Structure 1
């Protein structure tokens, strides 16, 4: 396999196509204020013309039959522009959950998800945000409350990872049988929801012992791609600004102290890109994915937070205005860092053969 599956000739062409479309059509502020929380027309174009939602879904389920690497290329570009889209939650998270379930449910649900016409959401975590099933199953019914459900308020398909007597399982619940409410999150570009289950009828989709840990690792890798793209763009915008902003008769980017700060961020972003590549390869080759995903979670979260912090600092006063996008990158950095569990909970898996704690 190519050392970096995200930079093959095919991946480069995909990256160029997505970037061109997003640069021309993405309007973050109007999208995040829309009823869906994303631009439905742009999402349809991405799915119909480029097939982004179908990339990591096999052809027999209506997908393109590519891999997680190609999906991560798209996620990196979406992260770069902070474009709100159901790529992470519906296409990747729910798509991979159904594939891991390995039952007929994939034939029934994946074609709509791959086409981008079906919005799916996955409920796992409770109020603490840790990747642990917040709901329990008894007699084919679910009880509990799940939080931080991506696009959960309006999803047409609701999947739930719940605890059963024999371990975690993947269930499908009719949205009509669930109390759903949009949550007020830190990041206005990402819609989150809570879902309350009270003896909700549930249909089990897996054959027993659903691999929730692997799904978490795949989710973390996909999120890391978003983080790398956003961190790189935050640095790019900051460098561009320091070349234009003048003080004491010269661009502020010419001052050595600021050059050192931007160089430090550049090193962090490139390190994040490297660990993302290693995590994608681990996912494709099924080679110690837990450690690689945990490393990506820790490194990419730190790189994005640092890039966003320096973006605020080096842009000066304009960075704290609502009109400038710096605060959107800052909020996305801190919101995504704790999504699927805080980076600190992944540290044991980075330094040893210990699974992330939640």
Structure 2
């Protein structure tokens, strides 16, 4: 098997890494914290200028038409630099509309590719105990929508968003125009700096094409998991790199603490968790890009992303000691991001439960193969 990236993929990776690392250094992040801005506007403008905002949008809608592998490379670079820009939500929402929406709803994808409209999405309610609190019922115009959406990323800044909605006994995706009079927004900021808004929807009437076909959610969810896991991979890789540098310099009892066996074993466990996530994420992106089904691969990747973020964050904070909780020192940012990404993925326990349910319903050899058990013997 050939795991090498193509020249074009390497060029995209290097461009993204250079763009984010040059912009999001520690001094800039410290300054940005005090601005109260919803996103890094100059950096988002550079993403649009370089085309990073439209990599995964189909070329039929004006995007680059690339796959999840290319987007994964960019999101890893974003995660390493903790860049607050809506790269994956914007373009995966646009890609979903380009592939599944009808009528003027599909035109939003082209506007997103041109940078004229900012799109968002939130699938967090799929994995929460409260479930989906947005309900669509048939009416003369098409659908009447009522309910709530909690913590929609950039809900106060985006023009439209894709959110899960209950339609009869199904869960579908709704294209929600956020400036509609029937939508009330209460804006806030998450711990890691991401701007969000709680939505209250009362008596909103939308046309029939605003509720996407059932296949749209099945297409979008594994790609959203891959995007969040790619961010987690980047965040955790930088978390480890900075921690290794710290334990190599911090001295106790006359020698660097990185020479202590307990610290070395903890860092080794962190590295194993990181590489486990990397291999499952690459497999997931490969399957998505080649059109292979990947429901269990996505759930396994989500679980390992939650586990890696938790384990690496815990170890990093532990070996940093007191300075790890000093907000003037940058390591806490990576812990905040890891926790936020784990919550967005639904948490390790919920992901593992969903994976267990899938395995109980499929007589296949785990999540890695598409073979019947007797065929693999």
Return the TM-score normalized by structure 1. Answer: 0.89
Equivalent residue in structure 2 for 1:190, among 188, 194, 199 = 194
- Which of the residues 158, 165, 169 maps onto 2:168? 165
Q: Of 271, 288, 292, which residue of structure 1 is paired with 2:276? A: 271
Mean Cα displacement is larger for which, 149-158 or 269-278? 149-158
User: Matched residues in 1 for 2:2 and 2:223: separation?
Assistant: 19
Provide the residue aligned with 1:201 in structure 2.
205
Mark the runs of 5 or more structure 1 residues left unpaired by the alignment.
none
TM-superposed deviation, 1:213: 3.2
Distance 1:160 1:304, change over 3 A: closer
Of 115-124 and 297-306, deviating more is 115-124
Q: Tell me, in whole angstroms, the C-alpha distance in 2 between the residues paired with 1:226 and 1:147.
A: 22
Matches within 5 A, 1:81-96: 81-92=81-92, 94-96=93-95
Give 4+ residue runs of structure 1 displaced > 6 Å after superposition. Answer: none
After superposition, residues 198-347 of structure 1 pair within 5 angstroms as: 198-203=202-207, 204-205=209-210, 208-347=213-352
The verdict on how the C-alpha distance between 1:113 and 1:207 changes in structure 2, with shifts beyond 3 A counting, is closer
- Tell me how far apart the structure 2 counterparts of residues 96 and 354 of structure 1 sit (CA, whole Å): 32
Q: 1:307 to 1:142 in 2, by over 3 A?
A: same
- Higher gyration radius (CA): 2
TM-aligned CA deviation for residue 280 of structure 1: 0.7
CA deviations over 1:52-95 (Å, ceiling 9, x no partner): 11100111201011111111111111111111111132222x12
Give me the whole-angstrom Cα distance separating, in 1, the residues matched to 2:295 and 2:260.
42
Please list, as runs of the form range in 1=range in 2, the aligned pairs for 1:43-192 lying within 5 A after superposition.
43-49=44-50, 51-92=51-92, 94-105=93-104, 107-126=106-125, 129=128, 133-138=132-137, 139=139, 140-165=143-168, 167-176=170-179, 177=181, 178-185=183-190, 187-192=191-196
Structure 2 Cα separation of the partners of residues 324 and 116 of structure 1: 35
| CA–CA distance in structure 2, aligned partners of residues 303 and 270 of structure 1 | 9
Cα deviation, 1:104-123, whole Å, max 9, x if unaligned, reads 44641112322344211225
Alignment partners' CA distance in 2, 1:125 and 1:98: 19
Q: 2:10 aligns with which of 9, 12, 20?
A: 12
The answer to whether the 8 Å contact 1:220/1:293 transfers is yes
Q: Equivalents in 2 of 1:22, 1:313: separation in Å?
A: 28
Matches of 1:193 and 1:326, distance apart in 2: 27
Gaps of 5+ in 2: 362-377
- Quickly say closer, same or farther: Cα 1:260–1:344, change in 2 above 3 A: same
SS in 2 for 1:189: coil
- Structure 1 residues 243 and 283, CA, compared in 2 at 3 Å: closer, same or farther? same
Separation in structure 1 between the aligned mates of residue 325 and residue 289 of structure 2, nearest angstrom: 41
Q: Residues 32 and 115 of structure 1: is their aligned pair in 2 closer, same or farther, counting only changes over 3 Å? A: farther
Bigger shift: residues 142-151 or 338-347: 338-347
Structure 1 residues 136 and 46: alpha-carbon distance in aligned structure 2, compared to 1, 3 A threshold: same
RMSD over aligned Cα, in angstroms? 2.5
Give 1:184 deviation, angstroms.
4.7
Structure 1 contact 56–65 (Cα < 8 Å) conserved: yes
TM-score (norm 2): 0.85
Deviations 1:256-279 (A, max 9, x none): 221111111111111110011011
| Number of positions where the alignment pairs a residue of Structure 1 with one of Structure 2 | 350
Larger mean CA deviation between 320-329 and 31-40 belongs to: 31-40
Pairwise CA distance, 1:216: 1.7
